[in-house]
Every structure is written in C-alpha cells, then in structure tokens.
Structure 1
C-alpha cells in the first residue's frame, strides 16, 4: 500500500537543521537556529486514489514549503496505522500516537454522539447551504467538541453528499430498503436510520466493504461519490441511487497536545497549510463528481431521484430528529441547522 512522504528539497543547511528531528509522528528536536523540526504521521480512511489522500499530500507539501523543510508529513491510506479501523485511528489521534488525520464526523460520533449532528438526514439542500452554515457557526461548534476530545480541529475538508449502492434492485422509495443488508459506518445514528427504513444495517470497517460486497455478505453500502469511486465499488454493485441524503465533511484534526507544543509561529504555519489544503481537497472533490458520475453510468444503473421521490425519504426519516436532538444537544444541532 502506498505511503507518501512529502517534503520539499532541502539545501545543505536545511538538511543539517533536520538532524534533531524525531520520528513516528511525534514531536521535534532543537536545530541550530533554535527552531524545531518535525516528522509527522497522518492517516486517511480510504486509498491513495481518493481526494482525501490528495488533500493530505497537499497538506504535506504546504507544511514543508512554509516551514522551509522543517515539517515533514508521512501520509498513510486505508487507516494503515490502526489496522484498517478508523475508530481506533481517531483514538490514536486523541491520545497523541499520531499527529494528523482526515476523518468523517461519523467516526467521531462513535466516541461522542454530538459529532453526528452535522450528518443528520437531509439537513442540507446543497453544498452552498452547507458552506454557509459551517462558516457561520458550524466550524466553531465542532472546534469546541474536538478540543474536548483532545483534538485541534484545523478545519473541514469534504467527503461529500452520501449516496446508496446495492446489488439487488433499484432503490427509489423508502420501502425498497426492506430486508436488504447494508454496510454502514460505525454510527448509532446510521444504524437507526437504516432500521427505520426496514433494512438490516451492519457496522463494518471500510477496508472490509469491497470483499463483503463481492462475496454477498452484504447487499449494499452508502458513501459519497469519491469513496465509491476510489474504493472500486462499481465492480461489485449494480445500482446507484442519488439521494444526497447526508452531507459528510472531513475533520482535519491534529493531536491537541502536539498543537500546544508548537510555537505560535509554527501554529500559524500549520493552520495556514491546513486552510489551503482543505480548500484544495474540497475543490478537487466537487470538480470530480461530474466525471465520476459519467463513469458510474457506464458500470451501474444510476437513478437520480426526483424532488417528489426525495420528499418521501425526508418524511420517512423525519422522526429520527425527535429521538436524536437530545443526543446532539440543542447547542450543537442549532449550530449546524440551516433553519436557524
């Protein structure tokens, strides 16, 4: 599996500065200019053809460039540092065993259900609405949540709007889910969603999804375009339903302990690099969707649901709000609710 170590070329002087650098994603050592050097690890849940991975690589390039080579980032796809388990990967970040990760709030919600508020079904109509809410109040609310868990949130990347694939039949109405076995990420909210639609939800690490679809252990799964594409899922799925039913941002998180150890100058470098990398990753993800859809149509039956068909799903999933708002808390849900 590909591991990317991103760094700009160093001059001889800069190379000498790196002799005190520590490894394994940890801290730094003093150099001759009394500035520390860092060799950090970062993980993403999906593989090296994804926009997640490209965004992480861009982050590494920017860190190296802006720090004059003092900051090096090693990027690991498919949650290699936690045996393919994204929840364990988030716990590594929280405990300071690695420096950075891109993870969905769905994964964080297994630790604290408040993180799932932004992934409530049909919360956002489109990307413009999500962007507006996140910029106004959503990002600040999630920064507070992340810090409670030992994570410095450096901003949001994007996985995109989540869609449905399966191997049995087209899904265009809520009752089409009945008796189908669906893989969902390890989130109580998603398990409740799929049970309410009559499906049989199975929590499973993404690393196991392709094989499980291939051998028929599960009938379907749900993910944004880029994850479906980079995971090669059209090879083992026959039907794609475009529901745009959950907006899924990516938390670019850093170990809070490691963040606090940085100088103010280095904190500024890391934050600036993160802002630019997130912007790069989001643009790439959105730009690729049209191209990916064309390829999906060549490999699967694609059903783009009408507003009336989507309204039926909205109605079917609306009761979840009554049971989940107390778990999200009004404070967090209000911060991501476009109706406020």
Structure 2
C-alpha cells in the first residue's frame, strides 16, 4: 500500500491516448455563452484530488475517467493528479485553479470551498446528521440543489456529490471521551474557519496545514493529532503515527465533483450529457466503495491504535459544548442554505 510521505512523486494516469498532436483541447469561453461544440471534438482534461492514490477519492476519479472514455468513444481523456499536485499540495489554490479554468475537474470537500464562501460549511456543521441515511435524505431533498447554486457563483459546475465520510479524531497522547480530553492538544484541522472555531471552543490548539505535510508532522511530533474520515486516515497510513482514535462521527463530509463552468458550457448538449452521466455513475461508485470499506478500515485501525467509539450519552456533552459555535455560524450559513441541508 502506498502511504503519504514527506516527498510525493508526480502521479498521473491517462485513460485514453491523445488522438493526435492537433487534437482540440477545450479552453475557457464565456460562462454565459451558448454551447459551441459540434459533438465530435476531443478533450484532454486534468482532474485533482486532495489525498493519495490509495483512497476511494482516487478510485472514484479513476472510474469517472473510464466512463468518460467509454461513453465518448475515446474522445474524452482524463489525467488524474493525487495530493493536489497541480497546486503544490494546497487544496484552496486548487479550487482557485478550477474557477479560473487552469484545470477542468476536482474532488474537493465543501470545507475547502468554505474558505471562499462560508455558506459552503453549512453541510459540515458539527453533529448535523446522525448517520448516512439522514445525510442522503437531506442531500436529495434540497441539499444538492443549494450547493449547485453556490458553486455556480464561483464559476464551477457541480456534478453531484461524492463522499469523504464522517470525520473522526486521532492523536498520539490520550483517549478522548469528553470535551475536556481535547483541551490542550495541538491538532491539525481542515483549512476552514469553522473547524478552527470548533476546536478552539473545545480548548484545543488547532492548526491548519496542507494535507501533504500531515504525516510527517505527526511523525515528528510537530502536532499531536488530526481529524479526518476513516478513508483518509487509512489510505494515508496515519495510524502508523497515531495511538488513539475516537469515533464520534461529528461532521459529515461530502465531496463536490466540480467542473469549470465555462468549459462545461462550451460543450455540446450531447457531450454535456456524457459528462453528467459519467459523473453520476462515478459518484455512486465512489460513495458505495467508501462506505463498504469503512468496516475493514476500522478493523485494521483497531489493530494499530486504541479505538474508542463514543456513546450517544457521551456525544451530548460535545454538542452542548459546541452550542456557541452553532449560534455564531447560523447567520454565516444563511437561513436558506441551512434549511436546505437540515435532516428531513
């Protein structure tokens, strides 16, 4: 298994040969203009993910590339880059590249988008969903539509949600079962004001850093711990450098499959349909793969870390401790977006 280390070589996979040196590469055009493609153009597109090639994010992107190739009869080529390699490991810069058309596709968490617009963090509010069933229902009943509007404001076409999963917390110091256990721990958190505020409210010392730096920082003790879903913890080998895992499912983290909106609008109707269909199938594949893998990943982590699964009674104390965060963010999330993502 490949694990994220301090130095990461360039990894790129191409699913179809480029037809010829003169093949048309899709470039940005007016986001408000009519589609100009005739339906027989060829495209060579770049896509990035934030984490490693051993993740379900990569598998979902890989599936997307295969489907684009198949449905377009080889006209659509997808080059996939792990660990935000096109933006120096910085996912926020990667989203900016997507808005500018410097790349065509990405899988990114709404947490990253929230650095641009805090409304994106509404779906990652702590303890919003009790389980996947609640999250699925909310996304189907207004959540996805709300986020499609938000991404369009950034010149991004949202092609549905994939999934990173429910986020957990690991550390090298002690078992976490109460809010007071988090106090004083130096934890790497997702690059979002909301996540900094969550952990500050719990008394931790939260820091942000590019994910590419996390393994080494945990290994050398620069930070005590971090928070991420099972798939990210497992696929990047973080259990090798962490002693404790608390399973508390405190944040549900979907993945936005985004495409530069100008480039999407430039496609013919037939090619838009290909992209839409491939995205829907790839997202469904990635979500199933992620959820199916969780039991195995957790079992493997139990062999390497002390795993504590918090009870409903224990979670109540965390929810109560975070009430000031909820109060502070309601206006930032806006009533419209918050209503769209509420459990149904």
Give the alignment's TM-score, normalised by structure 1. 0.94
Q: Secondary structure at the match of 1:299?
A: coil
Alignment of 1:95-244 (within 5 A): 95-244=100-249
For 2:296 and 2:188, the matched residues in 1 are separated by 25
Alpha-carbon distance, 1:26 to partner: 4.3
> What is the aligned partner in structure 1 of residue 264 from structure 2?
259
Matches within 5 A, 1:329-340: 329-338=334-343
What corresponds to 2:5 in structure 1? none
C-alpha distance after superposition, 1:98-119 (max 9, x if no partner): 0000000000000110000000
Unaligned runs of 5+ residues in structure 1 are none
Q: Distance in 2 between matches of 1:38 and 1:131?
A: 33
Q: Residues 26 and 97 of structure 1 are in contact (CA less than 8 Å); yes or no, is this contact kept in structure 2?
A: no
TM normalised by structure 2 equals 0.93
* Counterpart residue number, 1:327: 332
* Greater relative contact order, per chain length (Cα 8 Å cut-off, separation 6+): 2
- Partner of residue 90 from structure 1, selected from 80, 92, 95: 95
Aligned equivalent of 1:298: 303
Assess, with a 3 A threshold, how the Cα gap between structure 1 residues 140 and 268 changes in structure 2: closer, same or farther. same
SS at match of 1:124: coil
Pairing partner for 1:3 from 8, 12, 21: 12
Instruction: Give, in whole Å, the separation in 1 of the partners of 2:152 and 2:211.
Output: 26
1:50 equivalent to 2:59? Answer no
Gaps of 5+ in 2: 1-8, 30-35
* 1:318 counterpart = 2:327: no
3-state secondary structure, aligned to 1:332:
helix
Superposition CA RMSD, Å: 1.7
Contact map agreement 1:20 1:37 (CA 8 A) in 2: no
What does residue range 16-35 of structure 1 map to in structure 2 within 5 Å? 18=20, 20-22=22-24, 26=27, 35=40
Distance, in Å, in 1 between the alignment partners of 2:24 and 2:107 is: 22
Separation in 1, partners of 2:275, 2:210? 30
The structure that is helix-richer by fraction is: 1
Q: Is the 8 A contact 1:57 1:75 kept in 2?
A: yes
Matched residues in 1 for 2:234 and 2:192: separation?
Answer: 22
Is contact 1:26–1:99 with CA below 8 Å preserved after alignment?
Answer: no
Count how many residue pairs are aligned between Structure 1 and Structure 2. Answer: 329
Write the distance in 2 (CA, Å) between the matches of 1:19 and 1:138.
42
Q: Kindly provide the CA deviation profile for residues 235-293 of structure 1, in whole angstroms up to 9, marking residues without a partner as x.
A: 10000000000000000000001001001110000000000000000000000000001
Matches of 2:40 and 2:284, distance apart in 1 = 28
1:263–1:34 Cα change, 3 Å:
closer
